[in-house]
Chain A
Amino acid sequence: MKKILLILIFKIILISKASALIEIDITRGNLDPLPIAISPLHVDIKSENFEGIKIKELGEEISKLIENNFRSTGLFNPLKKEAFVQKPDIAHLKPRFEDWRLIKAQALVTGKILVKNGKLKVEFRLWDLAAAKEMTALAFTTTPSNWRRVSHIISDKIYERLTGEEGYFDTRIIYVSESGPKNQRIKKLAIMDQDGANTKYLTLGNELVLTPRFNPTNQMVTYMSYFRNMPRVYLLDIETGTQEVVGNFPGMTFAPRFSPDGKKIVMSFAKEGNSDIYTMDLDSRVVERITDHSSIDTSPSFSPDGKFIAFNSDRSGLQQIYVMRSDGSGVKRITFGNGIYGTPVWSPRGDLIAFTKMRKGRFYIGVMRTDGTGERLLTENYYQEAPSWSPNGRVLVFYRETKSGSKGEGFSAKLWSIDITGYNERRLKTETDASDPSWSSLLSK
């Protein structure tokens, strides 16, 4: 009897001991950008020449472009090619993982290109060097002159695989190109690839253009232009170049923006000195009044699910940001901080609203949750405004002007981008001065 008891007690002790698996919480890590090696793409010897493109250098060019894309994110650290230990063709078949690990790379991109019968075939592989396995591999076929876009698409695929979120490299930015002295600025609509290449001018510059905005579902743009000194809202199809005036209102229309499904335009519209928010259905051209208030309501922006609209209003005295249902009901003030708030833009992810804030003569670009909490100011400067989201909701592009002298000397306007964490502020390269940027959705979507 005693023995049984003892055995029982022993067993209980053993069980309680065995169940205690050691757990360790890892709550911190390395915040440095991920070291990634992007090997030049191997050019197949069977490749034929193609008019105007140096095929032999194309492998190098594509890898450079991918590298630049990654460096611009601030999330990756592309390693110097001088340190690479393996030839592109061999690396693409089966990399020597231990050699690549030696140069502290954690991921490796290899690839191969072949130009034949006027077609460019690009294939790439992404390798996880620590696990010594392939993470993803894809091949694309296109015309050789399209190599930049293929490189952007490849960058997107790698970015998506390594971060879990959509990329934003195969996109374009439309903006207002500015030139000339400050009091006689020539403003033209311009569009470029996200990395600054392929700039095209869409208007001639004889009329003032303002606030171009992309349709989130396709490559249409809405913008404002002055016609006989009256501001009008225009629609522009980038592929075909056709443009049309959206309605003809007696008053002044401002700040048009598409709804998330691209079927409506929301804008503010001034009548007898009072500005309110209206939507217009693009098919039926029916205009609907959304706000009816004696204060000035401007800068409307839809939430990505189309259920809410954020806008500016001075109904409480100073200009603040408000949110309402898309039918105009349930208006709620969301900003209460010191200063003036403006240009609310709903993130494509739906979780944040970007805004411009002015306080004590300084301008800030910031983000906050959609209920106004968690305000974070990302950047401060003399003058900056008009944030626009990258399609994945990770980066903001905006423009910044410098202080000028009494005669307008030293004045410049440039495009900048910043990560929503507040890191990685960068100037975007544009051919001329630039303002009012708007980021497109993914072209290949």
Chain B
Amino acid sequence: MVRSLIYSLTFHSALIFLTILSLPFMLREPINLPPIVSVELIQISDKTSIPYAPKARKIIEEAKKKEKERLVSEQAPPAAKAKEKPDRIPLPNEKKEEKQIVKKKQNPEEIKPQIRQASEFEKKEIIDTNQIAALIDKAKEEEAVKQKKSDKITQSSQKNKFATGLTLSQEDALKAQIFGCWSVPLGLPYDENLLVRIKLKLKKDGTIMKSEILDHQRMNKPDQRFYKVLAESALRAVRLCQPLKVPPTGYDKWKELQLNFNPTEMLKG
């Protein structure tokens, strides 16, 4: 009797514990996470990327100034490209992450990042870590302020963080690549809720084995012409992007990917 009770108790508590771990709605409201900024993969030089930090800050400040100016005038927003710029600037902390990935690629024996950071080579390059850390923090703060303005982004990125098995920088690399390939159909109405979900099956080299639109039946309805146009543009983007810049390891994690194409933010300008 007592034994079975103990079994029952352990089993149930184990179940509850697992549920808490794996069910999304059990998550507490996440603490202020650092924002996710999309990054284009850039070849990183042999030296560390840290000297770029002050420059990045300057550009962010400039972009902010520009934004302020734009708010003053009542004209329709000019050149959407300029807006994209600040987001694309790699922040130093992310660059570090990227660098780690690149390093892994270059010498596969070197697996543990801790070991790598302790190497003599690194020590030589980094002179005043405190100062650098301060700079990084400042840049982070500025980005955080920006982030607050658009809750939407925060939400989606939080969702991603929970769901994906990719690191943020890996995800950002993929995003940046697809951003570049996707010609957004500019004629779409911006007040309609258009979202195209595409499921991809990938080969190890990042080429696409199969692409599938998840709401396929919506494609051929006569009143869903805009959806069709958007879906086609998304498929074009994926095809043009081949091979995708996938992480060198963890094929099982990303052999199937779901891409959610949502132009609403862009079309609103």
Contacts and interface: CB of A to CB of B under 8 A. Distances in A.
Contacts of A28: 38, 84, 87, 179, 182, 265-266
A28 to B, nearest CB: 5
A298 to B, nearest CB: 25
B260 interface: yes
Interface in A225-257: none
Interface string A1-39: 100010011001100100011111111111111110000
A31 B236 contact: no
Given A31-B266, A162-B229, A106 B183 contact: yes
Nearest to B257: A22
A351 interface: yes
A204 interface: no
- B interface, over-half SS: helix
A116 to B, nearest CB: 35
B177 to A, nearest CB: 10
B74 to A, nearest CB: 5
A327 interface: no
Interface stretch (B103-111, B116-124, B163-171): B163-171
Interface string B163-199: 1111000010011001111111111110100000001
Given A9-B18, A131-B236, A163-B185, A27 B262 contact: yes
Contact of B175 (A24, A75, A101): A24
A297 B216 CA distance: 51
A308 B189 CA distance: 22
B11 interface: yes
Interface stretch (A85-93, A372-380, A433-441): A372-380
A5 B171 contact: no
Contact of B171 (A24, A162, A351): A24
A421 interface: yes
A29 B237 contact: yes
Interface residues of B, number: 71
A39 B253 CA distance: 44
Given A22-B254, A25-B260, A130-B239, A164 B185 contact: yes
Contacts of B240: 101, 106, 130
Given A26-B179, A163-B187, A422-B75, A20 B163 contact: yes
A396 to B, nearest CB: 12
Contact of A23 (B10, B14, B164, B191): B164
5 contacts: A22-B163, A22-B165, A29-B181, A31-B80, A421-B76
Contact of A20 (B21, B165, B184): B165
Nearest 9 CB-CB pairings of A with B: A422-B76, A29-B182, A163-B187, A164-B229, A16-B22, A164-B225, A130-B236, A164-B226, A29-B184
Contacts of A130: 235-236, 239-240
Nearest to B234: A26
A164 B178 CA distance: 22
A379 B87 CA distance: 28
A127 B256 CA distance: 29
A128 B260 contact: no
B135 to A, nearest CB: 27
A378 B76 contact: yes
A376 B257 contact: no
Interface string A140-168: 00000000000000000000101111000
Contacts of A64: none
B75 A13 contact: no
Contact of B75 (A1, A30, A377): A377
B166 A30 contact: no
Nearest to A19: B22
